[in-house]
Amino acid sequence: MLNNIDTNISQYAIIFVILSYINHKSYDIVENLLIKKSNKYKTLSENRKLYVQKNFVKSGFIFIFSIYATYALYLPIVYNKWDNFTLHILGLFYSINDIVSLIKVKKLPFTTKLHHIAVTILSLQNIFNDYSKFTFWRALIVYTLLSAYSFSVNMFLAYRIISSEKDKLRNYMCLFAFWTYILCFTFNWIYQLYIASIMFITNQITYIYCLYFLLTLVLCYDDLILINFLYKNAYIEDIKKNRLKNN
């Protein structure tokens, strides 16, 4: 396995650089489009603009990722044939958004920074994982794929800033993002706890697994904060608006 890593490390490095450059340049493309299409965007602070760019770029990247990953994971899931190189590349592809945004967006919320740092650490570890044999690290692949299916959340996070509260599309996007996130989060943690139970029953709990589980709890904490935020935007705000109308 280590020999394979040594052989592929230069390929991983090249792919990482290419993906980083594409992701970085995507910020410029998004900004040029928003300057032309959104007057509200022009009034935002520079950091707020970067936050909007970051979420539009991430939404697009993980949407593409989700299509490729679904195809790439068909063989592992259906036929139990796990190709290490493909899974290592998938990890780089997914994490590149978080790595670039950590560098470009200076004033990220604290829990978001923790989320991005956890993803970065897990993506680096992913390169050294051997998926050909059963390992708890397979749960990381499932976590990544299900997280990618909720790409609509990042789309909403960006769109809400450049749209008005009366925008119906904004409300529909929030509802769709909320329920998509809930479903992905639920299925994800069912699988994570299933793997945890296997590790416990077979007495395979190790320090490395505990570290992995701790990092996923960091992701979980940020996910719960975001779910609560989406719920408030999707339902609580509507209730307040209806009360104001009735009064």
Q: pLDDT for 81-104, tens place per residue?
A: 888 888 999 999 999 999 999 998
Q: How confident is the model at residue 238 (pLDDT cuts 50, 70, 90)?
A: low
Confidence of residue 110 (pLDDT cuts 50, 70, 90): confident
Q: What is the pLDDT of residue 246?
A: 45
Check whether 124 has a pLDDT greater than 50: yes
Q: Is the pLDDT of residue 71 over 90?
A: no
Count of domains in the chain?
A: 1
CA–CA separation, 37 and 137 (whole Å): 43
CA distance 164 to 141: 37
Determine what percent of the chain is predicted with pLDDT higher than 90: 58
Ramachandran category for residue 203: left, alpha or beta (phi over 0 → left; psi -120 to 50 → alpha): left
Query: Residue 243's pLDDT is what?
Result: 47
pLDDT in the model for residue 52: 94
Whole-number pLDDT of residue 95? 92
- pLDDT score, position 244: 43
Q: Is the model's pLDDT at 77 over the cut of 90?
A: no
165-193 average pLDDT score:
92
Average pLDDT value for residue range 120-130: 90
The predicted pLDDT at position 164 comes to: 83
Q: How far is CA 209 from the centre of its chain?
A: 21
* pLDDT value at 241 more than 60: no
Residue 188: predicted pLDDT:
93
pLDDT of residue 158: 94
Q: Is the pLDDT of residue 178 over 90?
A: yes
Neighbours of 28 (CB within 10 A): 11
Mean pLDDT of the chain: 88
Across residues 149-155, what is the average pLDDT?
93
DSSP 61-105: HHHHHHHHHHHHTHHHHHH----HHHHHHHHHHHHHHHHHHHHH-
Instruction: State residue 247's pLDDT score.
Output: 46
Give the structural domain span for 65.
2-246
What is d(CA 204, CA 89) in angstroms, rounded to the nearest whole number? Answer: 27
